[in-house]
Amino acid sequence: MGKPLSNILNLANQITFSRILMTPIILFLLYYPSSKLLSFIAMILFVVVSLTDILDGYIARRAKTITALGKLLDPVADKVLICSTLIMLTYTQRIPVWLTIIIVVREILVTGLRAVAAESGYIIQADALGKIKTVLQNIALSLLIIYYPYLGINPVPLGLFILYIAMFMAIISAIQYIYKYYNQFKDR
């Protein structure tokens, strides 16, 4: 017999799902790149939504409500938020196209690799490098979302610099994921 719907749609999963639902609102605000106020609101929302990634995991572990749905939704919600934001910032010419392509392709590749591994009964956990990459991406995207100078400080050069570092870390962590997968299945 299946679990009751209330167990599947627990607080942690609701928070994760809200990350997916909030992404279009952030994108809508970014669609109007000439508005300093909308960019600021988008940045605040992006930061809050990004922080829910920490909150949902904490709540799931603390309340012992980790579910298969949560394990599936959490990385999907992360990819939806990050990739959509990258694409919109590329559309508004805040990020070079090639940089967005590299990061989005890496995310698709690693997600696909993890899905194939999971199908074979092997879970490829996020490693420290991948987590640092995510933090750097979130910081960089926050700076690029805000875009306009505040207090005489232009956030764009720093945001791009951090995003370049995150891109290199993304490539290295993708190679590590591929290596882990290869080692796990080379004897099969």
Tell me the domain boundaries of the chain.
9-185
Please write the tens of the pLDDT for every residue from 54-63: 888 788 888 7
**Distance, CA of 16 to CA of 32 (rounded, Å):** 26
Please write the tens of the pLDDT for every residue from 23-80: 999 999 999 877 889 999 999 999 999 998 888 878 888 878 777 777 778 888 899 9
Which position has the higher pLDDT, 100 or 118? 100
Which DSSP string corresponds to 113-173? HHHHHHHTT------HHHHHHHHHHHHHHHHHHH-S-BTTB-HHHHHHHHHHHHHHHHHHH
Report residue 104 as tokens: 């989005």
Residue pair 19/77 in contact (Cβ under 8 Å)? The answer is yes
User: Rg of the Cα trace of the chain?
Assistant: 18
Which DSSP string corresponds to 4-63? PHHHHT-HHHHHHHHHHHHHHHHHHHHT-TT-HHHHHHHHHHHHHHHHHHHHHHHHHHHT
9-185: in CATH 1.20.120.1760: yes
For residue 121, name the pLDDT band (cuts at 50, 70, 90): confident
Q: What is the mean pLDDT of the chain?
A: 87
Look-up of token digits 């995310």 = 107
Query: For residue 126, which of 79, 59, 185 has the smallest C-alpha distance?
Result: 79
